[in-house]
Amino acid sequence: PGFHESPDNNNFWYANWTEWDHVRSLSWDPVGEQRVRHPPVYYDIADGGATLRRQARQARSHGVSVFVFYHYWFAGGRTVLTRPLREALIGADGKGLGLNWFFSWANEPWSKRWDGDDGKSVLIRQAYGGEAEWGAHLDALLPFFSSPEYAKVDGRPVFAIYNLRHMQTDAGMPPKPLQYCANPPPADANSCRGGCAHAELYLHWYPDLLHTVETAREHFEAKGEREGRAWPAYDPCVMFSEPESRLASPRLVHDMVAFWQRRAKEKGLPGLYIVGTVGGWMGSQGIDKLADAVPNGEATFDAMLQFMPAAFRNQMPVLKAARDECGVPTRKPSDPHAPTCSCYMRAMARYADHPLLRPRAVRSGRWDFFRGAFAGWSNYPRHVASPKVAQVHCSWGNTTDASAFEVLIFRQLMRAIADAGDSCFYPPTDQPSGLLSHHQQGASSFRHLVVTDAWNEWGESAVMEPTREDGFALLEAHRRAVAHAEQALLSMIPE
């Protein structure tokens, strides 16, 4: 919701600053090696709900059933960017959005680097406090939860938490920095010099093995050490490990959610439907550790959301398979070229069901699973002044291959249908058009969504809505994928 003037942005940047300032004057992304997309019109999202309702109509007509809005709640109960959501979602005019929706709490510091880290560039600190702060947070959410359009599962409002790793008892303290291998040692090296246990190097040593952080260490102790390999003396590289200083505090997460559940019931709700996020900040192995760290920890969550492409990129064993086909997604300008989005999405469509991308409680059936997709990603527009920190997952180049996006959405929809099992046939209907959207209104709806990373994250080139360059290409691809999935689902309905 950053596409409107706000007092905070006026203060932090300059008068009348909005996210449009990132893309308005750009035509080429040298990091992503692609055109910069632009909207047909630079809209103001704080216009009494008109723009959000227009976007909801566009989305619904192309097979989108739900919008997920980022929700901001910082230390001391400070909020930002709430005006357009209040106007459109719970406004006095009573019009609503015209589409179901729910919140994902973007629980990380607001920073001029847009990186979610605590540090010198933090504008608003993220901290969590205790029960008084948790209660105030829930009370502020209740007016939104009461909306008939707010997504609910068995009456419980769906509430996602974006950055589980940040939920630590010492939140707000500078985390231990991650290390990169600027010059990875050659494949025949027997050690990771400089303290960089690069996962890629371990895969060079044993290319036929699929390793997590834990199994790689176990394998090293059982075999690698005898072969003369040397484990690093310092912290492993990014994408290979999660330094302990950045792991979430399971007690904080558990206690906060347990308090919310009690308070929600006191307020007349049957509880909350809590969704964690599997992505760049915490992978599925970190989620498993979080669930194991406290008694009955798996009960903290009801579902996990697979946030793509970060969840895919940060699992080196899975990425290796895609890398062999498409090339390595670049992390900084000096890295190799980014793969094409066409190849990367098709590879993701094949590998997105890999066990490393699904926490154990998802694989066992205890948690529901929101499967992920994405429409592109490069944050160069936000880092024009400092392109060395820009990152890109894949490149569209000059032409957007919407068919690859269609394949990814369709494959993930079919997996979600398989996850749902017999419940996918409620309520029964013989009308293929709108079948999946119609199903979402059931009593246990929203358990098996497919979530695309962004509708209008223009500053990260992650956009599904119409663009000046590609028109409705991605929305039309989404509509076709949903229609094909509906036809497939219709053929499965028992007679």
Is the C-alpha dihedral spanning 434, 437, 439, 442 positive or negative? negative
Extract the tokens encoding 349: 């469509």
pLDDT score for 331:
46
User: Residues 405-427: pLDDT tens digits?
Assistant: 999 999 999 999 999 886 665 44
pLDDT score for 322:
72
**Of 221 and 45, more confident:** 45
Q: Cα angle vertex 414, ends 288, 375, to 5°? A: 80
Strand partners, 153: 156
In this model, does residue 428 exceed pLDDT 70? no
Alpha-carbon gap, residue 368 to 250, rounded angstroms: 20
In this model, does residue 446 exceed pLDDT 70? yes
pLDDT score for 193:
38
Q: Is 221 exposed, middle or buried (CB count within 10 Å of its CB: 0-12, 13-18, 19+)?
A: exposed
**Of 160 and 246, more confident:** 160
Task: Tell me whether the omega of the peptide bond preceding residue 427 falls within 30 degrees of 0, making it cis.
Answer: yes
In this model, does residue 311 exceed pLDDT 70? yes
The answer for residues whose C-beta is within 8 angstroms of residue 253's C-beta and 6 or more apart is 161, 164, 167, 290, 300
User: Residues 9-35: pLDDT tens digits?
Assistant: 888 888 999 999 999 999 999 988 899
Alpha-carbon gap, residue 401 to 34, rounded angstroms: 13
Can you say how many angstroms the Cα of residue 222 is from the centroid of all Cα atoms in its chain? 36
The pLDDT confidence band at residue 398, using thresholds 50, 70 and 90, is confident
**Of 433 and 485, more confident:** 485
Q: If we measure between CA atoms, which residue out of 58, 39, 103 comes closest to residue 479?
A: 58
Give the HSE-up count for residue 217: Cα atoms under 13 Å, Cβ half-sphere. Answer: 7
Can you say how many angstroms the Cα of residue 337 is from the centroid of all Cα atoms in its chain? 24
In this model, does residue 119 exceed pLDDT 50? yes
pLDDT score for 115:
58
In this model, does residue 438 exceed pLDDT 50? no
User: Residues 90-117: pLDDT tens digits?
Assistant: 887 878 999 999 999 999 988 876 655 5
User: Residues 354-388: pLDDT tens digits?
Assistant: 888 899 999 999 999 999 999 999 999 998 988 87
Work out the average pLDDT over 70-83. Answer: 92
The pLDDT confidence band at residue 328, using thresholds 50, 70 and 90, is low
Alpha-carbon gap, residue 485 to 489, rounded angstroms: 6
In this model, does residue 125 exceed pLDDT 90? no
Work out the average pLDDT over 57-83. Answer: 94
Alpha-carbon gap, residue 130 to 318, rounded angstroms: 39
pLDDT score for 192:
41
Alpha-carbon gap, residue 462 to 453, rounded angstroms: 7
Please state, rounded to an integer, the average pLDDT across all residues of the chain.
81
In this model, does residue 439 exceed pLDDT 50? no
Work out the average pLDDT over 191-207. Answer: 45
Extract the tokens encoding 256: 């906060």
Work out the average pLDDT over 153-175. Answer: 77
Cβ atoms of 440 and 100 within 8 Å: the answer is: yes
Alpha-carbon gap, residue 196 to 192, rounded angstroms: 5
Work out the average pLDDT over 209-228. Answer: 58
Extract the tokens encoding 353: 């069901």
User: Residues 345-354: pLDDT tens digits?
Assistant: 998 999 888 8
pLDDT score for 216:
56
CA distances from 196 to 174, 223, 241, 313, 338 (A): 21, 20, 11, 19, 23
Q: Please report, to the nearest 10 degrees, the dihedral formed by the alpha carbons of residues 27, 30, 34, 38 taken in order.
A: -30
Can you say how many angstroms the Cα of residue 54 is from the centroid of all Cα atoms in its chain? 24
Using H for helix, E for strand and C for coil, what is the string for the chain?
A: CCCCCCHHHHHHCCCCCCHHHHCCCCCEECCCCEECCCCCCCCCCCCCCHHHHHHHHHHHHCCCCEEEEEECCCHHHCCCCCHHHHHHHCCCCCCCCCCEEEEEECCCCEECCCCCCCCCCEEECCCCCCHHHHHHHHHHHHHHHCCCCECEECCEEEEEECCHHHCCCCCCCCCCCCECCCCCCCCCCCECHHHCCCHHHHHHHCCCCCCCHHHHHHHHHHHHCCCCCECCCCCCECCCCCCHHHCCCHHHHHHHHHHHHHHHHHCCCCCCEEEEEECCCCCHHHHHHHHHCCCCHHHHCCEEEECCCHHHHCCHHHHHHHHHHHCCCCCCCCCCCCCEHHHHHHHHHHHCCCHHHCCHHHHCCCCEEEEEECCCCECHHHHCCCHHHCCECCECCCCCCHHHHHHHHHHHHHHHHHHHHHHHHCCCCCCCCCHHHHHCCCCCCCCCCEEECCCEEHHHCEECCCECCCECHHHHHHHHHHHHHHHHHHHHCCC
Q: Cα angle vertex 409, ends 442, 427, to 5°? A: 15
Work out the average pLDDT over 80-92. Answer: 89
Alpha-carbon gap, residue 459 to 461, rounded angstroms: 6
Rounded to 5 degrees, φ, ψ at 59 are -65, -50
Q: Please report, to the nearest 10 degrees, the dihedral formed by the alpha carbons of residues 215, 218, 223, 228 taken in order.
A: 100
Q: Which residues of 252-278 are buried (b: 16+ CB within 10 A; e: fewer)?
A: ebbbbbebbbebbeeeebebbbbbbbb
pLDDT score for 480:
98
